[in-house]
Amino acid sequence: MNKQSNTYEASMDNLTAEVVERLQDSSDPRFKRIMTSLVTKLHEFIRDVDLQPSEWLTAIEFLTATGQACTEKRQEFILLSDTLGASMMVVMLDQARAAKASKGEFSATEATEATVQGPYYWEGAPEMPLGSNIAEGVLGEATYYSGVVTDLNGKPIAGALMDVWSGDGEGNYDMQVEGSDMAARAKLRCDEQGRYHFWSIRPSFYPVPVDGPVGRMLDQMGRHPFRPGHIHMKVSAPGYELVTTHLFVANSPYLDTDAVFGVRQSLIIDYQSCPPGVAPDGKMVEHAYWKANYDFRLIPSRN
C-alpha cells in the first residue's frame, strides 16, 4: 500500500472516530450505544463493499420510495424489515430476553414461540364471544380452532385475551381491499379454564405486496415473495408476556422459504379434515370443514 493509500485509510478511520465522538454528549446512554454501533458498522459496510456514489444515491432513493409507499393501511418499512429478516431477529432476541429474565435459559419447548407481526395488523378488532365465526362471509374453507392458554407449567390462564387475524382463503387481507371493513379479525377472551374456540377459515399461502420498492428488491435478489398459509394471534394476560405469533398450515407451500423468515417448527400444525355433521362445539355443519388445535404457553412477565 503506497503512502497516498495509507493517507486515505487514515482519513476514513478519522471520519468514523469523529462521527462517534460527536455522540459523547448524548444524555441517553442507550441511544448513544445504538447510534455508536450503527455509525461504526455503517461505515464498515460502506468500506467493505467499496460503495460507489451512484449506489449510495440509489439506496437513498430506495428508502425514499419505501416511505412514499406507506399509507394508513400499508407499512412498506415493516415489509422491508420483515423481508430482510430484521423483524424476526428482533422478535427472537426479545422473547429470549423475556424467558431468561423469568426462569433462566430460554427453551423453545416451554413457551409458545413468537414470530413477526407483519404489515397487516389492524388495531381495534371487535371483541366477540367464544364460539363466534370471526370470518362470516369471508372466502375460504370453514375451520374450527380450539385449544387452551396456560403458563409454562401447564396451568390454565383464565380470561387470557386472543387478538386474531388472517387473510381470506386466497390470501387477501381486508386492508388490501379499498374501502373494506374489518374481516377475519376479532378479539376473544378465554374461559375460566383458559380454553378458547372459534370459527374462521383455513388460511392460504400468498405473496407479500410486490408492486412497491420491496417487491422490486426481492425480484433483484432472485427471491420469491410468498408466505405459507398462516393465521395470526396476539395472546396476552395480566402477569404474562404478550406473544405475537402465527399458526402455520402443515404441508403449505413455502414453509421452508417463507419470504419473511417467520416460520418456526413448533408453530406448524395439522389441519384435520372433517365431514359434514355435528362439530366439536355442537353446531350442525352442512359442509365439510377443518379443525385445528393448539395450546399456547405464556412466559411470566419480566416486570
Q: What is the pLDDT of residue 3?
A: 56
Can you give the CATH number for the domain in which 279 is found? Answer: 2.60.130.10
Instruction: Tell whether 23 and 171 lie within a shared domain.
Output: no
Instruction: Tell whether 162 and 21 lie within a shared domain.
Output: no
Three-state SS at 240: strand
Is there a domain that residue 287 lies in? yes
Range of the domain at 215: 77-297
Q: Residue 169 in contact with residue 204, Cβ under 8 Å?
A: yes
Q: What is the pLDDT of residue 268?
A: 98
Instruction: Tell whether 33 and 82 lie within a shared domain.
Output: no
Instruction: Tell whether 19 and 106 lie within a shared domain.
Output: no
Is there a domain that residue 69 lies in? no
Q: What is the pLDDT of residue 105?
A: 47
Instruction: Tell whether 166 and 275 lie within a shared domain.
Output: yes
User: What is the full per-residue pLDDT of the chain (303 aa) written as tens digits?
Assistant: 555 556 777 899 999 999 999 999 999 999 999 999 999 999 999 999 999 999 999 999 999 999 999 998 889 999 999 999 999 999 999 988 887 777 554 444 589 999 999 989 999 999 999 999 999 999 999 999 999 999 999 999 999 999 999 999 999 999 888 878 999 999 999 999 999 999 999 999 999 999 999 999 999 999 999 999 999 999 999 999 999 999 999 999 999 999 999 999 999 999 999 999 999 999 999 999 999 999 999 999 876
Is there a domain that residue 64 lies in? no
Q: What is the pLDDT of residue 98?
A: 80
Is there a domain that residue 255 lies in? yes
Q: What is the pLDDT of residue 104?
A: 54
Instruction: Tell whether 36 and 180 lie within a shared domain.
Output: no
Q: Residue 242 in contact with residue 94, Cβ under 8 Å?
A: no
Q: What is the pLDDT of residue 106?
A: 45
The total domain count for the chain is 2
Instruction: Tell whether 88 and 45 lie within a shared domain.
Output: no
Instruction: Tell whether 134 and 212 lie within a shared domain.
Output: yes
Is there a domain that residue 284 lies in? yes
Is there a domain that residue 212 lies in? yes
Closest CA relative to residue 147, chosen from 189, 114, 195, 192: 195
pTM, 2 dp: 0.90
Instruction: Tell whether 260 and 185 lie within a shared domain.
Output: yes
Strand partners, 235: 162, 243
Is there a domain that residue 66 lies in? no
Instruction: Tell whether 20 and 108 lie within a shared domain.
Output: no
End-to-end CA distance of the chain: 55
Instruction: Tell whether 11 and 111 lie within a shared domain.
Output: no
Instruction: Tell whether 129 and 272 lie within a shared domain.
Output: yes
